[in-house]
Structure 1
């Protein structure tokens, strides 16, 4: 049977109060593309990749310690020149992530974890999971796209920004201008504003997520 997405009024989500206390009693941790290939200089200058990976590991261990669901997402690039090329050494998870217990592995070739295999939305709904915490790489690409799509599909989405990382990026050349460029840090700020301000996701920090997890009722 073909999967029929749950249609959500995004304008309604934009009016939600994102300052309410986090509720993670029914949340899965979705770890997006925490792969060795992102350490390759091919990507350009990163934001704090090491800090992000440390925070991602903290989150993963906290979820494992509590027996909460963990989704590992892996990007299987079809581009032989990509450090994430399927079957190449960079395609492997970071060692600390590989050591975590995962409830399901989702593989994908596009940005969104919701367009991978197996179908993430179906997997979550079959288990009665209505909330996700999304962390990983890249902030403005696969993390942001997964968060946006999760919000559109009706899930409550939280993104701890300091558990994500990205790289400097160059955009188009518009008439009469130099190439548009944004640093990794600027891209992270833009993602935070877009996701949180437009109501796709609650953007916060790792410490706040862990604190909420500690106080969540079983």
Structure 2
């Protein structure tokens, strides 16, 4: 196995701009951290893997024209995978692509922290990959619990994701931690 990690950039796509829950509050920090990670990966020769989410209808449908990277995402990437489920492995050839290159380590970033990013981290770990989960390079939105009506802000959700992933499925890292390690 190579010591070179692959950076997974999950679902950072125009589709989200049409979602009823879209908010700009945390976007500036997310954008800054993700761009730093992409720029560093590119400079270090780490593969950048773009993942796009597709559905059969709505703003995630290919026909919508919105299943494209957000305008500020650099074109730097080595491969694109399109998924129809929450994780980036099921139904794609991502695992084979990584293994063909001897990559056993992935760095997870993207949108939504607790959905596609967390699920991808769990599956990657179950498949035997080492996983660095860079929470600050993920984005999510407030949610209301359907049963209790309790409100969870984006930071609450990120903290919960770190709690359930850390030491079980991933190492929780900052961008600077990841860059210092590699």
TM-score by length of 2: 0.90
Partner of 1:87: 63
What is the rounded CA distance, in whole Å, between the counterparts of 2:109 and 2:26 in structure 1?
14
Tell me, yes or no, if the aligned pair for 2:3 and 2:103 is still in contact at 8 Å: no
Partner of 2:175: 206
Higher Cα Rg, which structure = 1
Q: Could you tell me how far 1:75 is from its partner in structure 2?
A: 0.6
- Tell me, what secondary structure is at the counterpart of 1:92? coil
- Name the structure where strand makes up a greater proportion of residues: 2
What is the rounded CA distance, in whole Å, between the counterparts of 1:45 and 1:95 in structure 2?
16
Deviations 1:81-109 (A, max 9, x none): xx333232432102332421x22111011
When the two structures are aligned, how many residues end up with a matched partner?
181
- Tell me, what secondary structure is at the counterpart of 2:34? helix
Tell me, yes or no, if the aligned pair for 2:98 and 2:104 is still in contact at 8 Å: yes
Q: Is the counterpart of residue 136 in structure 1 residue 110 in structure 2?
A: yes
Moved over 3 A (4+): 44-47
Q: Is the counterpart of residue 189 in structure 1 residue 159 in structure 2?
A: yes
Tell me, yes or no, if the aligned pair for 2:42 and 2:48 is still in contact at 8 Å: yes
- Tell me, what secondary structure is at the counterpart of 1:25? coil
Partner of 2:80: 105
Structure 1 regions of 5+ residues with no counterpart? Answer: 1-23, 214-218
- Tell me, what secondary structure is at the counterpart of 2:178? helix
What is the rounded CA distance, in whole Å, between the counterparts of 1:78 and 1:54 in structure 2?
32
- Tell me, what secondary structure is at the counterpart of 1:97? coil
Partner of 1:29: 7
- Tell me, what secondary structure is at the counterpart of 1:179? coil
Q: Could you tell me how far 1:46 is from its partner in structure 2?
A: 6.0
Deviations 1:33-56 (A, max 9, x none): 011232345124466122112211
Structure 2 regions of 5+ residues with no counterpart? Answer: none
Tell me, yes or no, if the aligned pair for 1:47 and 1:185 is still in contact at 8 Å: no
Change (3 A) 1:41 1:122: closer
What is the rounded CA distance, in whole Å, between the counterparts of 1:41 and 1:32 in structure 2?
16
What is the rounded CA distance, in whole Å, between the counterparts of 1:54 and 1:40 in structure 2?
22
What is the rounded CA distance, in whole Å, between the counterparts of 1:44 and 1:35 in structure 2?
12
Tell me, yes or no, if the aligned pair for 2:34 and 2:137 is still in contact at 8 Å: yes
What is the rounded CA distance, in whole Å, between the counterparts of 1:91 and 1:152 in structure 2?
28
What is the rounded CA distance, in whole Å, between the counterparts of 2:65 and 2:28 in structure 1?
19
